[in-house]
Structure 1
Amino acid sequence: MGNHQALVASVRQELAEARGTARAVLAAAESSRNEAEQRRRLVRDAYTTCLNQLAEARESTRGDIQRRYRGESVKLAGHLRGLATVSAAGAAGASWRLWSPTEPDPGDSPGLLRIGTLAFDETAGLPALIPLLGAAHLHLDGPSTVVADMVTAILLRALGSVRPGDVRLTVYDPVHLGGTLAPFAPLGVSFVGPGGLGTLLDDLVEHICRRVANHTTTGPEPWRVVVLLADRATAAELTAPQRAQLDRIVRTGVACGVHLVVRGLDLEDHPTVERIVAGDETVTCSSLGDLEVRLDPLPPADRVTAHCRSIADRQNANPAAPTLDDLEPERPWAESSRYGLSAPIGDSTDGTLVDVPLGDDPPHALIGGPPGSGKTNLIHVWLAALSTRYGPEELAFYLLDFKQDAAFARYAPGPRDPSWLPQLRLAGVNVAGDREFGLATLRHLGEELRARAQAAKRCGAGKLAELRTRDPAGHWPRIVAVIDEFPVLLTGRDAAAEEAADLLEDLARRGRAQGIHLVLASQEVSGIQALWGRPGLIGQFTLRIALPKARRVLADDNLAAAVIPRFHAVVNTESGTPGANRVVRLPDAGDPAAWRTLQRRLWRDRPAGCEEPRLFDGDAVPRLPSAYRRRTGNTVGSSPGAVLGERIDVAAQPARLRLGRMAGRNLAVAGTRTPEACDILAAAALSLAAQGPARFTVVCLATEAEHAAARLVADLPDADRQDTADLRLDLTAGEVPRYLIGYGLDATAPEHRTALHTLLTDGPEQRVHVLGWWRSTAPLAGHLDAIGAWVALDVEASDLAALHPQTGGPVWQPRTRRALFFDRSVHRTPEVIIPYEVNSDHT
């Protein structure tokens, strides 16, 4: 009897302590909202404590003593019911009859989840709760149908009790191919097919490692719930490395927001593993001790589907989309890019801005989306957010758009708006037909990369942050190079495509250390597929942004982009792997007035010495600069050089032909495009006249060029018009150079061809040079040794061999206002140039 009295006293003491704990926690639940996280943890701990005390009381009392203290158990159960209400609020604990998704209070963390009721008389109807988000992995065992219903119920409660987007769900179901959880498909679930378990485990471990490495700098991320519904065959085929990865996730996953819900695979014993075993009528849970639980009957299948749709509807029923103003910081240009770049491109469904990083990890971005998905809008939004946070000393933009439009022209000064984006260094628009400018930009960035690497080596620095610390007087902003429709650069199997791929790979591989970041965008799947053939290149683009219906941007088994609506994007910082998605709503950056207001404000605040950016417009025809016109009176240089057109490069330099006293210093313009041929000859003559005294003789044998020839004579006061076809000139060396400007020299009469050949052969050494236009290449065949430079207009690639059989060079496709220039004393291969516009009536 004494032992019974001692036992009764012990039970009374334990029950009293449990009631005291419950009262204390309930009181804490009424405290300020700033203590929400601590309150939730205390409630959870108190619930567990009370359950343990209740189980011990039932096990320790027998017979009359059990009846005497049944009242105490009933009182304790009442406190437990109050704790359960607090710990599993809303959708986490509501009965299925009244169930609907609920929004947690700001600052609240997930609580426990109801799976049923405790199965003994004193506690009839008392909710049985288990941990998951932020607390545990779940290992389920029992009949497959019971386990499937448990998983469905647990996921419904978890997804319905958090904010939309706070949980990323991944399902591995090799037997039913995802059919077990098919109702969850509208929520953007990532389904992993048979054979994908190893890759999934590796991706999860990599994600955990990144979270651990970035713990001090990375903000809150969505929880990742990974459901593994394995069968016996899968369990038997689990390799030793896969088992090791699974064990690592068990040990470290919860702390990094990764939670497993597993059936069919053994999980190692760990405090975070909650084991649930289903029997015939009840289940047991490790956190509930020996207390048995009756599972709540799952609603009918149509109601489960309706609940999933209601969660999806809540996910889509978002507040008003953000605007560009919402992305601006409180203080513009207050951020430093020393360690990287970070700027929001939109918000999540709860209104929280989503930052997109660029730095050491991830270093480069790949953007994809079909036509009309909002790819250009996304780029505008991202550039606007970056430009308000980082000033011109911290950030520089290089922008290339290979679409046939001028989307990036808004950032450069124009005839109606003289302002420009202060961070912009170069913009190329309408360059779909000018891969040469893309190559020139990549070469320029390559030179910048080498300059930074050399400076870092001199300072003993490894990364940009160290270089800026050890060389504070240097100018080392981070560079963001955006190439929209980049596949144009890689199209074909020619030398240009190969060089572009090599340059991109070098920049992607070494650029991260020197603060050069690539952003490649495409709407075509084929272009992105080309990158997969270069693993050293695509492996550097760990930041993936997929717009609605994008393909091949994310991993093949990541289908999130297929279900997002317009003005949304999937941001994935882990190379597109399933489970690393974050859905972002994008502002609409299409309002020109709103953009101009922002740009003008930044432009007015630009620092002194901020240079105007270079704008290359592939549809614009450059005018001959005034410095190369005689009437300006400017001296361009001491040695004669004929300016022919604009080189397709970053610096907008002229293409020049040096005309010294050496053999072959003559020019042949070949092709049938009369206005361009006349402009090339006029630009050459005017630029030569601007460099000092010279004599010009103009000969026109082509009636279609009469007007151009007469105009050139009028613009050159020292020019002689020779109306005859007699091309004999005095070859006695004079004090000033002499130039024969010939239009339609292919029409030279047979009796004068010898005189023309003599001029071409002997003239240059006597300071007499021929600059002529031939409408076809055939008449040039006998003069090629005496012509050291040529410009081809609409000459087909197959006919270039007639000019020089060994020039090689780019795959030439004749097009308006583009010419192929070759000077054998300078070039190894021809280069594409843009003939200047000289006479406006030609264009």
Structure 2
Amino acid sequence: MGSIAQFLGRAAYLHRQAASLLLDAQATVQGLETDQFAGAAADHELRQLTARLRHLARTGLEGWRGQPLDGSIVDRPVGHDVVPDGPLFVKVGEAQPIADRTFWVAAPFVGAGHLAIDTDARDRRVAAWFRGILLRTFAALPEGVVRVLPVDGAMLGATFAAFRPLVDAEVWAPAATNLSGWRATLEEAEQQITAVQSGDLTEPPVLVLAVAALPTGHSREDWARLAAIAHAGPSARVHLLLAGWPPSLLHGDGPPRLDYTTFLSSAGDGWWRMSEPPGPYRLSPDNTGLPALMRLDAGASEDVVAAVCRRAATTAAASRRTDFGSLMPEQIWQESSATGLRAVVGRGGRIPYEIVLDDATPHMLLAGRSGAGKTNLLLVLLYALASRYSPDELGLYLLDFKEGVSFVEFTPTGNDPSWVPHARTVGIESDCEYGLAVLRALTREMNRRAGALKAAGVTKLAALRAGNPDAAMPRLVVVIDEFQVQFAGNDSLARDAVAALEELARKGRSYGIHLILASQTIAGIDALYAKKDSIFGQFPLRIALPGGSGILDAGNTAADGLPVGSAIVNTAGGVAEANRVVRFPEADAASLTTHRHTLWRARSPLNEPPAVFAGYAEYQIGDDPLYQALTPQVRRRQALVGRAVDVGLPTVGFALDAVPGRHLAVLGTSTVGADVLHAAAASLARQHEPGTVRFVIAGFAAVADEVVDDLVAVLTGAGHDCAEVDAAGLRASLAELAAVPQPTYLVTFAADVVVPLLNERGPDRRTGLDDLRTVLRQGPGYGVHLLSWWRGARRFSDAIGGSAGREDVACLVALNVPGSELASLLGDHTLTWQMRPNRALLLDRHDQRQRLVVPFVRPGRHDEINEPA
């Protein structure tokens, strides 16, 4: 018989022939009413032809395309009809050329054009017919091929109520019932057509725009858009099913005639006439319609539709489930990031959905309530990007401000030495200071790139890469999870962070830097209030997980009722018309581990692990690379005290040279002060040959006894001259060093205890404090330095001479000292410092340096960090 298209073409030819014969027969019968023989002959010929057409139509419209949609078909498999290549014909009604003979009337739909009927679905016959056409189309084609965009502007979606299981399973979109929803469906249809025409979408779904009734307020502009879709749609698999078209008008020109559309118009008393524009499926010689009137197909009851849809939804839900691995490319690192980044992260219905970061959608906002799957989605997105692009094409900067382990996946750990090679910096439970340091590092990188682009005479990264494909300039993706923590409050730290963020948001797209800000909410961020529009206006890409509607436009609450595992993806800054529902897979631990190992094994030998900052981590000086590399052959000796809260966690300390005031004071009641002093003294010891310097150790608090014993053991073990003294011995050492200075480190634990004794006058009327102040002023020039831990800032200030002695101890490490007390001590009331566990503020008053540090502690001290002595 050949293909179904050839068969149905033949059927259409016979149909036309029958119609012509019918007209001739009717004329003959009218002229020969008294000729019983002639009337009988014509009737016999029509009966034969009708029988042939009836047989051909029933044979060509098997299964869902033509069989009655009653209870007998409910159990018929969905998506398993044999549908040959070519257009899909569906039964639209039955013609009755003579009194007791009928045949099925078929019209081309999917793959050929569109269907329109001039009465909307408020007419029950039309509603049943309309449901029937949708059910026939959906059920005849393979599962997952058809996506329906329902519109019901007259009955609030009631026409589609029976299809609700498919909406819940996200096979169909929810029914649009107002003007904005109607226009959103037009836009989605236009987007698919545009994507197919541009080559961005090579395997589009069958998209059916099903309008049961036009919404109130539709305009001529909407008609023009519909006409354009009718013309361009079939080649992009976009098809229209319209009830109530053309709309009735009281005055003015009517709407445009739609190309490639089969029209059904009411002829009264339940009869309908069918006509089509010029094309390969004309069914009447004069192109005005079917000469034989027809009755609409009976369609399907709501019960039948609901029963079929429930079964189809169950099957669709099972087949739509996707796993993490299926979204990853078969071969890693095959793409160039020159023009942007793309990653398949889930499915919109049955179609893979890509998130794009480029000049048009440079930055992304992500929001959702707790447990909505924010971390899961970030992992899917980042692994998808890292699989498509090599480390030469993509770099990752990851910051997490919450108490979690979202980004540990990207770093080497004690249990697994692998890491994701694209990760440059990873912050876990980050401090705001660390976040600001990362933003500033990115700003410096952006400025470096700006210089390179300027030198090349271009303004965008894509242009630079086009002229120099081998340029080492990967795109950078910066993810800040719970970003509101970075910008909380209205202090100088928050304001500096906002300034850096704004600059990156405005300029980053040109230099290949893309920001992803994730949070449960963006409300109540004081520092961003005045900059909200200027910053968030640069984030057209919005992903709202369940409960995350706050990042969408006011009134766009589409994310409020979403199930976990799905999200509203919006590429137009949150306007409701651009909403798209996308489902994401679960990034399970086993899949992540397997994929991370694949990426890690493919890395270059030069690919180093990321710089990792874990807010909860402690650091011991014995593990510090800089400490381990120290030797006596140094130009300027340093007392190491901790790791800076900065990119790369550099080791920090104070240079102790001959400049007056180069002494170290650790302030605060925390017993970590003893550990910091221990680290400073131990690091200095590695920078002296034994016998070239003396260490005098004095401890005045029981909590420091163990630290003192350990330090004495370290120093004597290294061969240094080390003496442990009591209060009297300390006073004697001060008097000696004030009179005859020689290279010495005075290391004093809990120095505040001995201040009353030092304040007593001796026979020469001098006090120990006098000698202390002499040593502070003159000692560095002779190699004498005081390393001390003070549990009270006021007593320390009094001991060194109050404000007059501020410059005599230039190197300070503040532990659990209140900010107001520290500001008063320094005479700097602009200082912002909030004491917190496992943190210290390093201050060097000579070079105006302030740095947040993680102080060195001895092993096993976590329970005591920043606890009072």
Q: Please state how far the C-alpha of 1:671 moved relative to its aligned partner.
A: 1.7
Q: Deviations over 1:571-625 (max 9, x none)?
A: 665666557636446255222xx54444334433322312122222222212225
Is this contact kept in 2: 1:398–1:426, CA < 8 A? yes
Question: Which structure has the larger Rg?
Answer: 2
Q: Please state how far the C-alpha of 1:775 moved relative to its aligned partner.
A: 1.6
Q: Which residue of 2 aligns with 1:832?
A: 852
Q: Which residue of 1 aligns with 2:674?
A: 678
Residues 55, 677 of structure 1: alpha-carbon distance in 2 compared, 3 angstrom cutoff: farther
Paired AA for residue 832 in structure 1: L
Give secondary structure in 2 for the equivalent of 1:803: helix
Paired AA for residue 799 in structure 1: E
Is this contact kept in 1: 2:128–2:300, CA < 8 A? no
Tell whether 2:118 aligns with 1:96. Answer: no
Q: Which residue of 2 aligns with 1:111?
A: 88
Is this contact kept in 2: 1:697–1:740, CA < 8 A? yes
Give secondary structure in 2 for the equivalent of 1:234: coil
State the number of aligned residues: 792
1-structure distance, mates of 2:421, 2:681: 38
Deviates more, 1:398-407 or 1:189-198: 189-198
Q: Which residue of 2 aligns with 1:803?
A: 825
Is this contact kept in 2: 1:461–1:470, CA < 8 A? no
Q: Please state how far the C-alpha of 1:833 moved relative to its aligned partner.
A: 1.3
Q: Deviations over 1:514-537 (max 9, x none)?
A: 333334444457599999983454
Residues 735, 358 of structure 1: alpha-carbon distance in 2 compared, 3 angstrom cutoff: same
2-structure distance, mates of 1:142, 1:529: 52
Tell whether 2:123 aligns with 1:145. Answer: yes
Is this contact kept in 1: 2:364–2:543, CA < 8 A? yes
Residues 685, 86 of structure 1: alpha-carbon distance in 2 compared, 3 angstrom cutoff: farther
Q: Which residue of 2 aligns with 1:721?
A: 724
2-structure distance, mates of 1:191, 1:468: 45
Q: Which residue of 2 aligns with 1:710?
A: 709
Listed as ranges, the gaps of 5+ residues in structure 1 are 1-25, 30-38
1-structure distance, mates of 2:624, 2:3: 81
2-structure distance, mates of 1:542, 1:86: 52
Q: CA RMSD in A?
A: 4.3
1-structure distance, mates of 2:26, 2:214: 43
Q: Please state how far the C-alpha of 1:735 moved relative to its aligned partner.
A: 7.6
Q: Which of 772, 785, 794 pairs up with 1:778?
A: 794
Tell whether 2:779 aligns with 1:743. Answer: no
1-structure distance, mates of 2:28, 2:115: 41
2-structure distance, mates of 1:628, 1:636: 17
2-structure distance, mates of 1:81, 1:517: 63
Give secondary structure in 2 for the equivalent of 1:217: coil
2-structure distance, mates of 1:458, 1:528: 39
Tell whether 2:214 aligns with 1:215. Answer: no
Give secondary structure in 1 for the equivalent of 2:852: strand
Paired AA for residue 338 in structure 2: R
Mapping for residues 433-448 of structure 1, pairs under 5 Å: 434-448=431-445
Q: Which residue of 1 aligns with 2:296?
A: 295
Give secondary structure in 2 for the equivalent of 1:715: helix
Residues 205, 377 of structure 1: alpha-carbon distance in 2 compared, 3 angstrom cutoff: closer
1-structure distance, mates of 2:391, 2:11: 57
Q: Which residue of 2 aligns with 1:481?
A: 478
Q: Which residue of 2 aligns with 1:822?
A: 843
Q: Deviations over 1:15-57 (max 9, x none)?
A: xxxxxxxxxxx5123xxxxxxxxx5xx6676666665555555
Give secondary structure in 2 for the equivalent of 1:611: coil
Is this contact kept in 1: 2:742–2:782, CA < 8 A? no
Q: Which of 257, 261, 268 pairs up with 2:256?
A: 268
2-structure distance, mates of 1:672, 1:779: 12
Q: Please state how far the C-alpha of 1:708 moved relative to its aligned partner.
A: 1.8
Q: Please state how far the C-alpha of 1:353 moved relative to its aligned partner.
A: 5.5
Q: Which residue of 1 aligns with 2:737?
A: 730
Mapping for residues 565-580 of structure 1, pairs under 5 Å: 577=576
Is this contact kept in 2: 1:459–1:471, CA < 8 A? no
Paired AA for residue 271 in structure 2: T
Tell whether 2:180 aligns with 1:196. Answer: yes
Q: Which residue of 2 aligns with 1:788?
A: 810
Q: Which residue of 2 aligns with 1:129?
A: 107
Mapping for residues 444-523 of structure 1, pairs under 5 Å: 444-523=441-520
2-structure distance, mates of 1:84, 1:490: 69
Residues 86, 722 of structure 1: alpha-carbon distance in 2 compared, 3 angstrom cutoff: farther
Tell whether 2:638 aligns with 1:641. Answer: yes
1-structure distance, mates of 2:623, 2:510: 43
2-structure distance, mates of 1:730, 1:311: 92
Mapping for residues 305-320 of structure 1, pairs under 5 Å: 305-318=306-319
1-structure distance, mates of 2:301, 2:11: 30
Give secondary structure in 2 for the equivalent of 1:668: strand
Deviates more, 1:88-97 or 1:99-108: 99-108
Q: Please state how far the C-alpha of 1:561 moved relative to its aligned partner.
A: 7.8
TM-score (norm 1): 0.80
Is this contact kept in 1: 2:548–2:560, CA < 8 A? yes
Is this contact kept in 2: 1:628–1:690, CA < 8 A? no
TM-score (norm 2): 0.78
Tell whether 2:179 aligns with 1:182. Answer: no
Deviates more, 1:80-89 or 1:442-451: 80-89
Q: Please state how far the C-alpha of 1:71 moved relative to its aligned partner.
A: 6.2
Is this contact kept in 2: 1:192–1:557, CA < 8 A? no
Q: Deviations over 1:676-716 (max 9, x none)?
A: 21122222223333344655443333332233233323333
Q: Which of 587, 606, 612 pairs up with 1:615?
A: 612
Listed as ranges, the gaps of 5+ residues in structure 2 are 31-38, 168-172, 249-253, 277-282, 761-767, 864-869
Is this contact kept in 1: 2:521–2:550, CA < 8 A? no
Paired AA for residue 689 in structure 1: A
Mapping for residues 221-236 of structure 1, pairs under 5 Å: 221-226=204-209, 234-235=217-218
Give secondary structure in 2 for the equivalent of 1:127: strand
Q: Deviations over 1:170-220 (max 9, x none)?
A: 4555654434433444433335465635863784487368526x7223333
1-structure distance, mates of 2:525, 2:128: 41
Q: Which residue of 2 aligns with 1:9?
A: none
Residues 89, 700 of structure 1: alpha-carbon distance in 2 compared, 3 angstrom cutoff: farther
Residues 604, 579 of structure 1: alpha-carbon distance in 2 compared, 3 angstrom cutoff: closer
